[in-house]
DNA sequence: TTATTATGGACACTACAGGTCTATAATAAT
DNA sequence: ATTATTATAGACCTGTAGTGTCCATAATAA
């Protein structure tokens, strides 16, 4: 249960892009060298970010990447979901066991199917809650919010034209 | 980013143990059949739970497993951490990149090393926060809280002596 | 003593993270 | 139009972790 390195790279790449909005495009070379990662691997990650609309890419001389939204509109959740996928935190397996009957069946029967066919048991309800809390927190933190913090702490060698 | 199946099994096993506190010991056979999992695999998981002190185990005839604490004192976080380990949600890799200098060095230098050598950057600070929120939520949900919910919803064929 | 039960180790299979390399496509500058 | 430059997509490799089985051994209550 850990975020992958790719998420790490993606976050740092976006932070770099957000930080250097002087000339529009940042090439994979500059990006890879500042992050200390191989160009090969990072380009895959950037490609993913592009497919999900977080960045734009343009080939050719002086090409490279740029953010497709403002930094305030790119949340940690966005980045994480692009890289890690949108699978549930908890995916139940044995819905046909005896356990299931005790914890889920009675409920949906008694409460006569609250909403559509969601059919969620008590365990999943807890896990859903955990996921929602986590997502909410990650939605509240954006690339910009990190950049702001960095500026506050006396780091002023950025955004120089 | 998903909890493993083992966590699923562990939770269900503990729920079953918490639910049947009539005769003290529940064997791996009963446990495995009610969960619909193989005895082989489940026994490994139970072994882990024992090593971390969540359950007690006794071999021999009429042996089996029993909870070593009350159901209110076994939180979702406990179970998850036993199975998934206690690694951080986010583990940074390239602390020697240029990025790192921009986001972390300046801070620890400016704030003159807030606490001991923790040396946490802004990215990690966000992730730490996420982890803390998640943990707090998971700490508030116990085996007992799920069992209580189950009872409330009209399921009364449990705890029969 | 014995039948029963948990435990630990060895092993196999699969999926995926992490990473490299190369050929191709797209673009801007000339 | 050509060319140099850059991103993209695919094939490929490696190691490791999750999932699972099987068996030999240890511990225990009857
Ligand atoms: S009780 Fe919930 S978690 Fe358990 S098997 Fe049923 S749906 Fe899955
Ligand atoms: S800035 Fe933070 S996340 Fe990035 S490399 Fe440094 S310590 Fe790691």
On chain B, the residues whose CB falls within 8 A of the CB of A76 are 126, 130
B8 is a domain residue: yes
Question: Residue B71's pLDDT band (boundaries 50, 70, 90)?
Answer: very high
B80 is a domain residue: no
On chain B, the residues whose CB falls within 8 A of the CB of A33 are 98
At B99 the pLDDT is: 84
- Lowest average pLDDT, out of B13-17, B114-118, B129-133, goes to B114-118
Round to a whole number and report the distance in Å from the CA of B104 to the C1' of C15: 36
Give strand C nucleotides closer than 7 A to any protein Cβ.
Answer: 3-9, 17-22, 25-29
Whether the CB-CB separation of B57 and B63 falls below 8 Å is answered with yes
At A82 the pLDDT is: 98
Strand C lies under 7 A from the Cβ of residue A47 = no
B144 is a domain residue: no
Question: Residue B94's pLDDT band (boundaries 50, 70, 90)?
Answer: confident
At A115 the pLDDT is: 46
At B101 the pLDDT is: 79
A97 is a domain residue: no
B144 or A121, greater pLDDT = B144
At B108 the pLDDT is: 54
Listed residue (B156, B18, B71, B142) closest to A106, CA to CA: B156
Q: How far is A60 from chain B (nearest CA, A)?
A: 26
Q: How many domains does chain B have?
A: 1
Strand C lies under 7 A from the Cβ of residue A59 = yes
The residue segments making up the domain with residue A19 are 1-74
B135 is a domain residue: no
Ligand 2 center from residue A76 Cα (angstroms): 15
Residue B59 reports pLDDT greater than 60: yes
- Tell me if residue B24 falls in helix, strand or coil: coil
Ligand 1 center from residue A124 Cα (angstroms): 7
Residue B161 reports pLDDT greater than 50: no
- Are A110 and B154 an interchain contact pair (Cβ–Cβ within 8 Å)? yes
At B159 the pLDDT is: 44
Residue B152 reports pLDDT greater than 90: no
Q: Which nucleotide is nearest to A9 (CA to C1')?
A: C18
A69 is a domain residue: yes
B85 is a domain residue: no
> Can you give the pLDDT of all 161 residues of chain A as single tens digits?
999 999 999 999 999 999 987 667 999 999 999 999 999 999 999 999 999 999 999 999 999 999 999 999 999 999 999 999 999 999 988 888 888 877 776 555 544 444 444 557 899 999 999 999 999 999 999 999 999 988 776 555 544 33
At A20 the pLDDT is: 84
B9 is a domain residue: yes
At B141 the pLDDT is: 98
Q: Is the pTM of this model over 0.85?
A: yes
Give the CATH number for residue A14: 1.10.10.10
Q: Is A101 in the pocket of ligand 1 (CB under 6 A)?
A: no
Those residues whose C-beta lies under 8 Å from the C-beta of residue B143, and which sit 6 or more positions away, are B14, B15, B18, B71, B72, B74, B75
On chain B, the residues whose CB falls within 8 A of the CB of A150 are 102-103, 106-107, 122
Task: Return the residue whose CA atom lies nearest to atom 6 of ligand 1.
Answer: A100
Average pLDDT value for residue range B93-109: 74
- Are A87 and B1 an interchain contact pair (Cβ–Cβ within 8 Å)? yes
Mapping DSSP onto H, E and C, the string for chain A reads: CCCCHHHHHHHHHHHHHHHCCCCCCECHHHHHHHHCCCHHHHHHHHHHHHHCCCEEEECCCCCEEEECCCHHHCEHHHHHHHHHCCCCCCCCCCCCCHHHHHHHHHHHHHCCCCCCCCCCCHHHHHHHHHHHHHHHHHHCCEHHHHHHHHHHCCCCCCCCC
Cα B78 to chain centroid distance, Å, stands at 4
Residue B115 reports pLDDT greater than 50: no
Cβ-nearest to A137 among B2, B4, B133: B133
At A116 the pLDDT is: 43
């Amino acid at each position: 249960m850990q975020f992958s390195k790719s998420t790490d790279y993606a976050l740092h790449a976006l932070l770099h892009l957000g930080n250097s909005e002087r000339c529009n495009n940042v090439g994979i070379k500059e990006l890879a060298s500042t992050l200390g990662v191989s160009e090969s691997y990072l380009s895959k990650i950037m490609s993913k970010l592009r497919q999900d609309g977080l960045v734009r890419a343009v080939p050719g001389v002086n090409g490279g990447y740029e953010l497709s939204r403002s930094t305030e509109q790119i949340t940690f959740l966005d980045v994480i979901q692009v890289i890690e996928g949108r699978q549930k935190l908890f995916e139940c397996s044995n819905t046909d066991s005896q356990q299931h009957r005790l914890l889920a069946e009675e409920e949906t029967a008694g409460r006569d199917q609250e909403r559509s066919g969601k059919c969620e048991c008590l365990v999943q309800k807890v896990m859903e809650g955990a996921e929602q809390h986590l997502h909410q927190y990650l939605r509240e933190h954006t690339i910009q919010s990190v950049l702001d913090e960095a500026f506050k702490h006396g780091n002023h060698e950025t955004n120089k034209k």
